[in-house]
Structure 1
């Protein structure tokens, strides 16, 4: 892939991210609320399971509740995916200059570099998204009226540092993208090599893969990444939640959140909301890579 095609990766990634968020956002709201629920916060409702959470939110908060934080989610996801695919392919091209073909190490390094840059650039958006998703009828104090109001209020009441809460676990979550993309690329290569042996007349890898292949590759690579990194997502959500009315945060920092979660909830606490997360992300990953690969092929 030449540098001339890097912008196509950014466009394809942004379109893929937008499609993913629109499809899966209600499950993202449920996941976030499960992640921060520790049984000791009166401002957070207790849901029995994912269907019960969806039904309860729909009944008590309506469509607005199911799509709380949708604007920052769309903004963050579109920017993140666009930048991620751009940085990833740019880094991969740079690492491959002196090599004839790609390797797992190149994919891993490229994904880690891209993930770190995206995390630094988009963390404020995810803080706002998390806080908007956690607003509910049981919430006390003045709620944020939207994306702009959330940014202004956070800056006024807590300062710019609050917009970077959860950055540490966010950087650890770079491993998520690295695992996902490495698994995707390696599995993709295996399938392409296998199909190429069966159909040697086709020179293009895109001709050898179907939409079903992209869906399976996206879901399987995402599953591996989720199982390995999910506890960091829980810690990030807990650290990013809004302080109490008196301005005292529930968790001082990521270390405090990890220690408190381990002591009071055990290993189960680090995997709260994983069912909603799997229901959201496995189909979403399939959609993302189907859209990405097809848009990329179309642009080329």
Structure 2
């Protein structure tokens, strides 16, 4: 029974991830280019704002530019969300064995544990996605696709290069932890409010929330996470850039990125692309949780009918 519940969470998470990335990928390309561009990259044009970036990429690179890195994004998002919800539900179940209800701290611990495991599993996929999104027609020796990028990175830089950006990626587990903790607590508050209002059983939460509720809760929790963790995303994107033709990386480590960003761009440099990020992730989080909760409810109902 417990195993069924965990795999239901994994399946719902994967479906949510696939729907989300398909809907929002062009904004992800814009965000990545803003994050990586410090004005010193000759092959990346400078954009005024997110709409200008979308228009420029569409005009100069076409649909292929707007969906650069789409395959690793779909693969990474589907795997990440599936693993995340699986690890997250598994951790929550483990903590619930010794108590009746999880505290906010245990929700945070569950989300952090899931985030760390997912980061270690999927960092190579996100590295390739970032590099493909940063390619333009002016790029020297471009990758032809996901598999070519993997082969080239392994041949030219070694397997360790696949884990560039893992450090800030692990710091970014606080993003998922903040998002899921906020989501769980807001969800609990809404259910309790409606339970008191309608005198329903607390365990009837499957039917007490609808898709609009999930959308609002998902967007709210995502905004809370973005506002606190965005600089780590900028640092990771900078570290994951492709080395120069001579094989020299632009940055040594996270501290080097932070110093150079502060030196050339000031504190604003740590929030490059945040508009595109919010435009992408707030509705994306809504889509994710709508799909996740509805698929999960559907799977639960199907399992009950089989029993």
TM-score, structure 2 length as denominator? 0.96
> 2:227, 2:200 → 1: CA distance?
39
Moved more, 247-256 or 223-232: 247-256
> 1:183, 1:267 → 2: CA distance?
26
Find the counterpart in structure 1 of residue 178 from structure 2: 179
Find the counterpart in structure 2 of residue 38 from structure 1: 38
Shift of 1:254: 1.2
> 1:219, 1:2 → 2: CA distance?
29
8 Å Cα contact 1:45-1:138 kept in structure 2:
no
Aligned pairs (5 A) from 1:72-83: 72-83=72-83
> 1:137, 1:46 → 2: CA distance?
15
Find the counterpart in structure 1 of residue 92 from structure 2: 92
Q: CA RMSD in A?
A: 0.9
> 2:298, 2:222 → 1: CA distance?
24
8 Å Cα contact 1:96-1:106 kept in structure 2:
no
Find the counterpart in structure 1 of residue 102 from structure 2: 102
Shift of 1:3: 3.4
Find the counterpart in structure 2 of residue 114 from structure 1: 114
| Structure 1, unpaired ranges of 5+ | none
Q: Secondary structure at the match of 2:243?
A: coil
Q: Secondary structure at the match of 1:107?
A: helix
Find the counterpart in structure 1 of residue 153 from structure 2: 154
Shift of 1:252: 1.2
> 2:168, 2:212 → 1: CA distance?
33
Find the counterpart in structure 1 of residue 192 from structure 2: 193
Count of matched residue pairs: 299
Find the counterpart in structure 1 of residue 225 from structure 2: 225
| Structure 2, unpaired ranges of 5+ | 301-307
> 1:262, 1:122 → 2: CA distance?
29
> 2:75, 2:57 → 1: CA distance?
23
> 1:50, 1:173 → 2: CA distance?
23
> 1:199, 1:209 → 2: CA distance?
13
TM-score, structure 1 length as denominator? 0.98
* Residue 61 (str. 1) matches residue 51 (str. 2): no
Shift of 1:201: 3.6
8 Å Cα contact 1:37-1:44 kept in structure 2:
yes
Moved more, 12-21 or 261-270: 261-270
Q: Secondary structure at the match of 2:141?
A: coil
Deviations 1:6-62 (A, max 9, x none): 000000000000000000000000000000110111121100100000000001100
